[in-house]
Amino acid sequence: MTTSRLSRPPLRAFAACLAAAGLLACTSRPAETKPSGTGALGASAEDLAAISRVHREYVAAHNASDADRLAIEAAGLRKPYKPKGALPKAAGPGREWTTADLVALEPKLKGRNFKNGEKMYVAARCIVCHRFAGDGGATGPDLSQVAGRFGLKDLAEAIVEPSKVISDQYKASVVKTADGKTITGRVVSEGSGKLVIVTDPEDSTKVAEVAKDDIESIKPSAVSLMPEKLLNPLGETEVLDLLAYMLSRGDPNHPMFRK
Q: What pLDDT is stored for residue 104 in this prediction?
A: 97
Query: CA 224, 179, 210: angle at the middle one, nearest 5?
Result: 55
Helical H segments across 29-90, by residue range: 45-63, 66-74
Res 168 pLDDT > 50: yes
CA neighbor of 208 nearest in space, from 198, 216, 217? 198
CB-CB neighbours of 126 under 10 Å: 23
User: Contacts by 215-219 with C-beta closer than 8 Å and gap 24+?
Assistant: 215/175, 215/176, 215/177, 215/178, 216/176, 216/177, 216/178, 217/175, 217/176, 218/173, 218/174, 218/175, 218/176, 219/173, 219/174
Task: Examine the pLDDT at 28 and tell me if it is beyond 50.
Answer: no
Phi and psi at residue 28, to the nearest 5°? -125, 20
* Contact predicate 126/132, CB 8 Å: yes
Q: What CATH number does residue 243 fall under?
A: 2.30.30.100
- Contact indicator for 171, 226 with CB cutoff of 8 Å: no
Residue 67 contacts residue 75 (beta carbons within 8 Å): no
| Verdict on whether the full-model pTM lies above 0.75 | no
Are 90 and 122 in a shared domain? yes
CA dist 214 and 208 (Å) reads: 13
Express each pLDDT in 190-231 by its tens digit. Answer: 878 899 898 888 887 888 899 999 999 999 999 998 989 999
Residue 74 lies in a domain: no
Total count of domains within the chain = 2
* Predicted local distance difference test score (pLDDT) of residue 58: 52
Both 131 and 48 in one domain: the answer is no
Residue 69 lies in a domain: no
Whether residue 109 is predicted with pLDDT greater than 60 in this model: the reply is: yes
Q: What is the CA radius of gyration of the chain?
A: 22
Give residue 99's pLDDT band: very low, low, confident or very high (50, 70, 90): very high
> Distance between CA 39 and CA 55 in Å, rounded?
17
- 117 and 29 in a single domain? The answer is no
DSSP-derived letter for residue 227 is P
| Predicted pLDDT of residue 131 | 84
Same domain, 90 and 56: no
Considering the domain architecture, whether residues 27 and 132 belong to the same structural domain is answered as: no
Give Cα separations from 23 to 42, 43, 213 (angstroms). Answer: 11, 9, 43
**DSSP state for residue 240 in the 8-state scheme:** H
Residue after which a domain boundary falls, among 63, 90, 107: 63
Give the span between the Cα atoms of 48 and 57, in whole angstroms. Answer: 14
Position 2 confidence tier, pLDDT thresholds 50, 70, 90: very low
Q: How far is CA 54 from the centre of its chain?
A: 20
- Residue 70 falls within a domain, yes or no? no
SS3 173: strand
- Residue 117 has φ and ψ, to the nearest 5°, of -65, -40
pLDDT for the residue 245 = 95
Average pLDDT estimate for 137-158 = 86
In a domain, 199, yes or no: yes
| Same structural domain, 172 and 201 | yes
User: In Å, how far are 12, 190, 221 from 218, measured between CA atoms?
Assistant: 45, 13, 9
Let me know whether 58 and 99 are in one domain.
Answer: no
Range of the domain at 175: 81-259
- Is residue 232 in some structural domain? yes
Confidence category of residue 1, pLDDT binned at 50, 70, 90: very low
Q: Indicate whether 158 and 49 sit together in one domain.
A: no
Peptide bond into 30 cis (omega under 30): no
d(CA 90, CA 72): 32
- Taking the C-alpha atoms of residue 152 and residue 142, their distance in angstroms, rounded to an integer, is 17
Whether residue 116 is found in the same domain as residue 241: yes
Pair (53, 97) in one structural domain: no
Q: Is residue 71 part of a domain?
A: no
In this structure, the answer to whether residues 142 and 179 fall within a common structural domain is yes
Length in residues, the chain: 259
Tell me, yes or no, whether 113 and 214 share the same domain: yes
pLDDT of residue 84: 78
pLDDT tens digits along 170-192: 889 999 999 999 999 999 888 78
Residue 239 lies in a domain: yes
Task: Give a yes or no: residue 231 inside a domain.
Answer: yes
* Cβ contact 188:198 at 8 Å: yes
* pLDDT tens profile 52-79: 555 455 545 555 555 555 555 555 555 6
